[in-house]
Structures are given as structure tokens and as C-alpha cells.
Amino acid sequence: MLDFITINEHSSIRIDEGKIIYSDPYNISGDPQDADIILITHSHFDHYSPEDIHKVMKPDTVIVCPSSMSEPNGLGLTVKQVTAGESFEISGIKFETVPAYNIGKPFHPKSNGWLGYIIDSTEHGRIYIAGDTDVTPDNKQIKCDIALVPAGGKFTADAVQAAELVNTIHPRYTVPIHYGTVVGVPSDGEKFRKAVDSGIEVEIKL
């Protein structure tokens, strides 16, 4: 169904859009060196891992990251720094940025300027990568066809809260991420599935 999307572990996502897009590569197996574009949502170790970027990058890979992060250096790559609310295009693929933050938790304050991304795909529709976030007034306005949302709790929305977000924005497909290793438990995926409204297809990839 969503064979072009792979979840490596946690929030480490690989999307084949003709160009290969990684989001927050982490604990990558092997040395694929196939990334055309790498999206970084924020600077926490399980999302910004230079060691794993080295495993997937090529000489012409472009990194996109929040402007509030220190610019990744020592990689020798083109870096595009962005803020929430931007639209841009890389290698013919359109992107939008959206804020990702906690409400009532200290881990991801809105003031940090950390991000989620929307990939506007001509083939697959709008793909929302939520980043580390709770359910917020901002992401409840998202319009997308596919939503990849954190469901592990503690640092982000938990499985039921993630389902609440999905039920509000009502994509065609959804994939829970950010659970089962660093935070959350493997059963969070099924807990999320049970809380998602019928009519929204849930695919478990962790």
C-alpha cells in the first residue's frame, strides 16, 4: 500500500519519490549512500545523527534543517535552513514546513523553531512528517493524504493522542512512528490503529 515509505527505526523514515528522501536518519544498517535529500526535524540525538547522515549521504545530497539549529558542518553538503511556514523546492520536489512542538511538556518548546515537513508529491499526494510534536492548534490545520505521526508518548503525543490528530486531519493513510525503541513500546502501533477512525487506512511499519 505504502511500499515507497520505509520506517527504519523510531522516526527514521525513507521515502522513494523518484528522488530518495530521508527524514531523521537514525540507526541505519549498512552504508546505502542513496540520499538525495535529508530532512532534519530538530537537533535531538535520535533525529540529528551525523554518524547516520554519513551512512546515507552522497556528494550531492542536500540537507534541510531548522534555521534554529546550528548549521551541520563537516559533512561537505549543501545545507538549506528553513523556518515554519516556508514553501520550497529541491530537485523538482515541493516541500512545506510546519511547526512541531509540545504543549505542557518541556522537551520541544515552540520557541525552538523545530519542524515537521510536508512533501507535496505529484504521485502520492501530500505526505506529512510530523516531527516531535503533541496535538497542537497548528497541526490540527494540516491538509494531507498520508500522515506519519509520533505515537510513543512522553516526549510527544501518545498513541491515543496521535490518533486524535489523525482523526481531526483525516488523511487517507497514516503510519505511527517514534515508538518501540527509544520511547514507547511495540504495542503502541496497534493501540494507535484501534483509536483511528474507520475510513483511514493505518499501516504499521515498526
Number of domains, the chain: 1
Report the distance separating Cα 29 and Cα 41, nearest Å. 21
In the prediction, which pLDDT does 108 show? 97
Give the pLDDT band (50/70/90) at residue 3: very high
In the prediction, which pLDDT does 73 show? 73
Side by side, which strands form the sheet with 125-129?
Answer: 87-90, 93-99, 115-121, 125-129, 146-150, 173-177, 201-202
- pLDDT surpassing 80 at residue 119: yes
In the prediction, which pLDDT does 66 show? 97
Report the distance separating Cα 43 and Cα 68, nearest Å. 9
CA 142 to chain CA centroid, nearest Å = 14
In the prediction, which pLDDT does 88 show? 98
Q: Is the pTM of this model over 0.85?
A: yes
How much of the chain is in helix, strand and coil states, percent to nearest 5? 15, 30, 50
Report the distance separating Cα 26 and Cα 49, nearest Å. 6
What sections of 4-149 are H helices per DSSP? 50-56
- pLDDT surpassing 90 at residue 118: yes
Q: Mean pLDDT over residues 140-166, rounded?
A: 97
Q: What number of H helices and E strands is found in the chain? A: 3, 13
Residue 203: which residues within 8 A CB-CB, separation 6 or more? 1, 2, 173, 174, 175
CATH number at residue 92: 3.60.15.10
Residue found under cell 532534519: 40
Give the residue numbers spanning the domain of 149.
5-202
- Share above pLDDT 90 across residues of the chain, in percent, rounded to a whole number: 95
